[in-house]
Amino acid sequence: MPPAALYANAVAIGEKKAAAAPATIFKLSVVSGAHIAFGALLALVVGANVANMKTLNPGLQKLFFGAFGLPFGLFMVLVAGGELFTGNVAMVSAAFFEGKASLEGLLKSWSISFIGNFIGTILVCKLIVAAGMLTVPAIATEIAVAKVAKPFLTTFLRGIVCNWMVCMAVWVASGCSTLGEKYLAMVLPVSAFVAFGAEHSIANMALIPLGMAGGAKVKWIDFLTKNLLPVTLGNIVGGALCQAAPYGSVYGTLGKKR
């Protein structure tokens, strides 16, 4: 699709998401949270589990970490259909900017998908731990500790960078018709944000609890206030203001007389 058509497609998708029944949003968001948790596990046991590469070629290791894990989770969400808070921020915002979604619909989509994603990630994290599949507790612990150690502003800004990339991935992949096209459109931005060290709220709902299960000295209050809160706020700015708003001002009616 050309850029103008991609924007129109995002608006149409956002309109449907904003109009969806709460129960539908919730059920699909729980499943989507589970998919992201599985992607987080893959990132830990494969992408991050390359000690020699990390020492000898850290740039390649970051690319490897980005490519193996979270793209897998997002690909399942995009192909199977789901409700992912981070992607919904851009899509429903686009519909809101065009008058195709109400503020009530936007807040319904965001809040229910966020809660459902959280429940889905935590349930899968518990399943992973109970099944003995967290085979790299030291790596999970290191990542969890690092994610709650940064200043609020730094974490917030990393949340902006992340969801700018994630929403670009969702935006473009949603306009593709084949599985191969969707994967290529999605994998590059997602791999990039992971390699950058940016912060994704839903992925962190899995990565940090898995690290805590692996022995990280991280309290739930620290996870929620020092990471999840600033990351979520940054994700909202990245998706709504950095992704949806510029395209709305060019290809839509945002900032123009209707």
Domain residue ranges in the chain: 3-251
Reported as a pLDDT band with limits 50, 70 and 90, residue 226 is very high
Mean pLDDT value across the chain: 93
Q: Is 255 helix (H, G, I), strand (E, B) or coil?
A: coil
**Sequence-ordered alpha helix ranges (H) in the chain:** 3-19, 22-42, 51-56, 58-67, 70-80, 85-97, 103-130, 137-147, 152-173, 179-196, 201-213, 220-222, 229-236, 245-251
Confidence of residue 41 (pLDDT cuts 50, 70, 90): very high
**Least confident among 17-21, 155-159, 193-197, 240-244:** 193-197
For 69-104, how does the pLDDT look when each residue is reduced to its tens digit (9 = 90+)?
889 999 999 999 899 999 999 999 999 999 999 999
Using CB atoms within 10 A of its CB, is residue 220 exposed (0-12), middle (13-18) or buried (19+)?
exposed
pLDDT for residue 56 is more than 80: no
229: amino acid identity, one letter? L
- Please answer whether residues 69 and 47 qualify as being in contact, where contact means their C-beta atoms are separated by less than 8 angstroms: yes
Place of tokens 């990351």: 231
| Cβ 239 vs Cβ 169: under 8 Å | no
Higher-pLDDT residue of 59, 246 = 246
The pLDDT assigned to 1 comes to 79
pLDDT score, position 258: 56
Share of the chain above pLDDT 70, in %: 99
Query: Each residue of 92-121: b (16+ CB within 10 Å) or e?
Result: bbbbbbbebbeeebbebbbebbbbbbbbbb
As assigned by CATH, the class of the 3-251 domain is: mainly alpha
Could you tell me the CA-to-CA distances from 28 to 10, 113, 181, 245 in Å, in that order? 19, 8, 23, 26
**Rounded Cα distance, 29 and 65, in Å:** 25
pLDDT, average across residues 140-148: 95
pLDDT, position 34? 97
Per-residue pLDDT band for 132 (boundaries 50, 70, 90) equals very high
Q: Which of the pair, 231 or 184, is modelled with greater confidence?
A: 231
With a cut of 90, say whether residue 249 has pLDDT above it: yes
Closest CA to 89 of 185, 231, 258, 205: 231
DSSP 216: -
Q: Does residue 39 surpass a pLDDT of 60?
A: yes
Q: Tell me which residue of 204, 200, 208, 205 sits closest to 167, measured CA to CA.
A: 200
What's residue 16's pLDDT?
A: 97
Q: Is the pLDDT of residue 121 over 80?
A: yes
What is the spatial distance between Cα 27 and Cα 79, in angstroms, rounded to a whole number? 16
pLDDT at 257: 59
